[in-house]
Amino acid sequence: MNASTTRRMTARSRTEAHRVATPLELFFDLCFVVAVAQAGTRLVHSTADGHPGHAVTGYLFVFFGIWWAWMNFSWFASAYDTDDVPYRIATLVQIAGVLIYAAGVPRAFDGDLAIVVLGYVVMRLALTFQWLRAAYGERGPARRTALTYAGGVVVCQVCWAALLLVPAGAGRVAGFLCVIVAELLVPVIAERGHQTAWHPHHISERYGLFTLIVLGETVSAATVAVQSAIDEHDALGELLPIAAGGLLIVFAAWWIYFAVPIHGHLRGNRQAFLWGYGHYVVFSSAAAIGAGIEVAVEQAVGKAHLTTTGASFAVTGPSAVFLFTLWLLHARHSKRGAAQQSILPVAAVLVALCAFAGHAAVLLAGIIAALAVAAGLTLAARNPESHEAE
């Protein structure tokens, strides 16, 4: 696609045919996964060092910035992607911002937030420019919505920068939580009078593609961990169950996520907000599965300061959260009957309990996840009206 020099930025049609993700959006996603990988690496190191509480807290905070910046860009692009030169340059600036953010992730886990806030502000101010362009090109309620978005984003960025001046401690933590809430409320407030023209099929594809990339990063990180452990410790026998179980979990996660199309459920903002916001849990837990596999590998070769149960839960915990959230956001809208509806919640509980199964925990969790897919396929064949492909 050749970009024009510039064009008036007005909303695209929600019913536009053949709307798919662009090469620029795919490039954007791949660069964001750099930050996801950094967050996962720090989660592994902090957990393996025996500080799981600090690790999870830092990971969830850092992942919020990654997810929220990605999500805001994706919904804006679904409504206003003009693919002209200013749009492309602004998107590339956002990519530069996420790379700055990624570089600051290790320091953020140690309490130094300056670099991640700088990268976040770069991403968000580039998006503000996009919203101001949309406001210039629109009229009436659409213009007010665009200006509300721009104003809300700017206010939140000023607050992030101001919080860097607050000494570390409970006051800063409370301030960060308040600004996170403010960030989440900006779309809710901006869209009250006018719904932006996001495209349901395009949005569902964008989320699906990012899920694929995050799962791919999970496989990559786990593979490197297993390879390194084999090279250094020649512990193939201890690592094979972890590798096999982790692979089954990731395969099942992919299968369940893409079992049925979700764009038909995204009829308006009420459904879209819950679904879109809920993906913070989907993305963060998917990435955490890979980090958990790395922790389990390090524990198996004696490099992690964790019990076997603790290391196993680093895998089974996020896997259970992922399965339950997928049921909540996706599967329950297409399943019929108590049997179909119960598969994923029950599987999530059983996977979590696998943490107490000793060295076979990850393998057992992978088998349960695979059995959940098989059960879904069997029940779907008996009830074709559910349109299940699981």
* Token pair in block for residue 298: 């390090």
- CA-nearest of 78, 63, 105, 99 to 21 is 78
For the segment 161-165, the average pLDDT, to the nearest whole number, is 92
Q: Are residues 60 and 99 in the same domain?
A: yes
Enclosing domain of residue 64 = 23-190
Q: Are residues 251 and 378 in the same domain?
A: yes
Tell me the pLDDT band of 101, cut-offs 50, 70 and 90.
Answer: very high
Q: Are residues 238 and 338 in the same domain?
A: yes
Tell me the pLDDT band of 389, cut-offs 50, 70 and 90.
Answer: very low
- Does a structural domain hold residue 195? no
Q: How many CA atoms lie within 13 A of 381 on its CB side?
A: 5
End position of a domain, from candidates 165, 190, 215: 190
- Write down the pLDDT at residue 79: 94
- Write down the pLDDT at residue 3: 61
In this predicted structure, the answer to whether residue 201 has a pLDDT above a threshold of 80 is yes
Q: Are residues 127 and 240 in the same domain?
A: no
- Write down the pLDDT at residue 384: 63
For the segment 196-214, the average pLDDT, to the nearest whole number, is 93
- Write down the pLDDT at residue 9: 87
- CA-nearest of 206, 211, 248 to 325 is 211
Q: Are residues 176 and 211 in the same domain?
A: no
Q: Are residues 326 and 254 in the same domain?
A: yes
Q: Are residues 94 and 212 in the same domain?
A: no
Distance, CA of 314 to CA of 239 (rounded, Å): 15
Tell me the pLDDT band of 388, cut-offs 50, 70 and 90.
Answer: very low
Q: Are residues 311 and 251 in the same domain?
A: yes
Distance, CA of 30 to CA of 68 (rounded, Å): 16
pLDDT digits (tens, 9 = 90+) for 312-343: 999 999 999 999 999 998 878 777 788 888 99
In this predicted structure, the answer to whether residue 364 has a pLDDT above a threshold of 50 is yes
End position of a domain, from candidates 190, 222, 245: 190
- When mean pLDDT is compared across 80-94, 166-180, 326-340, 369-383, the lowest value belongs to 326-340
- Write down the pLDDT at residue 288: 94
Q: Are residues 70 and 144 in the same domain?
A: yes
- Write down the pLDDT at residue 386: 52
- Does a structural domain hold residue 4? no
- Write down the pLDDT at residue 34: 92
Domain of residue 331, CATH code = 1.20.1410
pLDDT digits (tens, 9 = 90+) for 170-186: 888 899 999 999 999 99
For residue 98, with 0-12 CB atoms within 10 Å meaning exposed, 13-18 middle and 19 or more buried, which class applies? buried
Q: What is the DSSP string of 283-312?
A: HHHHHHHHHHHHHHHHHHTT-SSS-HHHHH
End position of a domain, from candidates 190, 213, 231: 190
Q: Are residues 218 and 292 in the same domain?
A: yes
Q: Which helix (H) or strand (E) holds 196?
A: none
- Write down the pLDDT at residue 63: 95
Q: Are residues 155 and 206 in the same domain?
A: no
- Does a structural domain hold residue 149? yes
- Does a structural domain hold residue 15? no
Mean pLDDT across the chain: 90
Distance, CA of 63 to CA of 98 (rounded, Å): 12
**Inter-axis angle of helices 236-257 and 200-233, nearest 10:** 180
In this predicted structure, the answer to whether residue 32 has a pLDDT above a threshold of 70 is yes
More confident residue, 233 or 103: 103
Q: Are residues 147 and 76 in the same domain?
A: yes
- Does a structural domain hold residue 14? no
pLDDT digits (tens, 9 = 90+) for 230-286: 777 676 777 888 989 999 999 999 999 998 888 878 878 888 888 999 999 999 999
Tell me the pLDDT band of 348, cut-offs 50, 70 and 90.
Answer: very high
- Does a structural domain hold residue 7? no
In the chain, how many domains are there?
2
More confident residue, 173 or 2: 173
- Write down the pLDDT at residue 69: 95
- Does a structural domain hold residue 95? yes
Owner of token pair 């990559």: 220
